[in-house]
Structure 1
């Protein structure tokens, strides 16, 4: 895996599609859906099939040939 960009979120969990939009990786849930159908999105090294999968602190999302992003809880 290449460099992993850390993305801070304000909640303890975040849905996969929301996370990718928050991080500025993808612009819409439709894009997430298509990439999931093409098995291009991995969570913690495993192909993910649910675009609304709940992510937690430390989870790593990878999109093949695009990059990797880690969920970091910002806290208060």
Structure 2
């Protein structure tokens, strides 16, 4: 399980994908979410604007990530 630290109240799913190194730019988020299964707290998610908060768990590309406050 990998942790992603945030200093703001939330992080969008598109920002998360970039922060996790899965995409190079924010513009690739829509394509990535359409081509790869992503779950947030166990539910399938394809909205790049989905807000992620501390303690949210994201599963993507065989990895599990957890959002934590810095």
In which range does the TM-score fall when normalised by the shorter chain?
0.7 to 0.9
* Aligned length in residues: 70
Which entry has the higher C-alpha Rg, 1 or 2?
1
**TM-score, normalised by the number of residues in structure 2:** 0.82
Q: 1:60-71 alignment to 2 at 5 Å?
A: 60-65=57-62, 67-71=63-67
Which runs of structure 1 show a deviation greater than 3 angstroms over 4 or more consecutive aligned residues?
none
| Structure 2 portions without partners, runs of 5+ | none
- CA RMSD after TM alignment: 1.6
Whether 2:27 is the aligned partner of 1:48: answer no
